[in-house]
Amino acid sequence: MALVSPSVRASTQEQVRAALTRRDRNPAGIVLQVLLLTAILVTLLILFTLLVRLISPAMPVFRDRGVDFLTGTIGSDPDKVGIWPGIYGSFFIGLGILVVSIPLGVAAAIFLEEYAHDTRFNRFIVVNIRNLAGVPAVIYGVLGLTIFVEWLDPVTQGKTVIAAALTLAVLVLPIIIITASEAIRAVPQGLRDAGYGVGGSKWEVTRDHVLPYAAPGILTGTVLSLARALGEAAPLILIGAITGLLPATSVDGPFTALPMTIYSWSAKADPPGSELRFDNTAAAAGVVLLALVLLFNIVAVYFRNKYEKKRTGT
C-alpha cells in the first residue's frame, strides 16, 4: 500500500473542508427562499390586520361595559346588551363536540389504520370520508334539522344545544378521522414490532404504544376541527338558533351561540342616542369567541406537550 505524504493529506483535507463549507449561490434556491419568506410575511400581515380590525372597535365595549358585557343578555340596546347566552351555548356546543366526535373519530381512525384490511370496500370508505370533509357546512345543517331536530326529537328536545352539538360534531367528524389516521400512520412500524416482540396483543400495542405516540397529531387535528365548528353559523341558523331575547339558558330549550350573536349584531341598525354601536358589540363578541377557542387550544396544547414529553422520555 502506497503511503500518502503529509502535504497531499493536508491538501485533500483542505479540499474536503472547502467543499463542505462552501455556499454555492443557487438562483432557484434563493428565489424559492424569498417566495417562502414573502408568504410567511403576508400571512402574518393578514393575521395582524384581522386582529387590529377586530380588537380596535371592541375596546370601547370592554372599557365602558367590562364584566357586564359578559354577564348580560341579548337585547336591542348596544349600551346594555351582553353575550352570556352566546357564551353558554358555544361552550356547551364545544363540549358536546369533544364528547361525541373525539371518541368516534379516533376509534374510526384506529380501526381503519390498525385493524381494517386493504380491501376495495375499505378504500371506498376512506375516499368517502375524505369527500365528506369538503362538504359545505350548510348541508350538515340540513342533515341536523332532519335527523337531530325532527327524527330524534324525543332525545334532543328539538331545537336545542344538544341538537346543535350533535350536528357540528358530525360536521367535524371526517376531519378528526383524517387527522387521526395520518397521525397513527406516522407511527414507526418498529414501535409496533417491539410491542409484538415482548408478547403484546394488537390492542395492547395500539393502546400503550401507538396512541401515545400519535396523540400530539390527534390533538392538533382536534383543536383545528373544534375551532372551525365554533365559528360556524350556517348550521345553527338551519337548526333554529335564535338571535333574540332568551328567557333562560339550558341544554333543552331555546339557545343561541356566539356566531349567531355576531351575525345578528352585524346587521342591526343602531338606535338613536346610544353611545356604543352594534358594530362595537359584534367585534367584542368576536374577541370573546377567539378567547373561547384559545381556551380549548391551551387545554389541547397542554395535553399535546404532555404526550410529547412522555414519547421522548424527557
**Of 38, 58, 235, residue with least CA distance to 135:** 235
Q: What is the pTM of this model?
A: 0.81
254-265: per-residue pLDDT in tens?
A: 788 888 888 888
Of 179 and 303, more confident: 179
The string of pLDDT tens digits covering residues 3-19 is 556 666 666 777 667 66
The domain spans of the chain are: 62-312
Per the document, the length of the chain is 314
Taking only the tens place, the pLDDT of each residue in 32-85 is 989 999 999 999 999 999 989 999 999 989 988 888 888 888 878 888 888 888
- Give the pLDDT of residue 1: 45
Q: Say how far apart CA 301 and CA 291 lie, in whole Å.
A: 15
- Cα separation, 284 vs 58, whole angstroms: 4
Q: Which residues contact 286 (CB under 8 A, 6 or more apart)?
A: 54, 58, 258, 262
- Are the beta carbons of 161 and 96 closer than 8 angstroms? yes
Task: Classify residue 152 by its DSSP letter.
Answer: T
Task: Please give the grid coordinates belonging to residue 164.
Answer: 346543535
- Tell me which fold the domain 62-312 belongs to: MetI-like fold (1.10.3720)
Whether the Cβ atoms of residue 249 and residue 17 lie closer than 8 Å to each other: no
State the Cα–Cα distance between residues 86 and 75, nearest whole angstrom. Answer: 12
Q: What CA–CA distance (Å, rounded) separates 314 from 306?
A: 10
Sequence-ordered list of residues with C-beta below 8 angstroms from that of 5, at least 6 positions apart, any chain: none
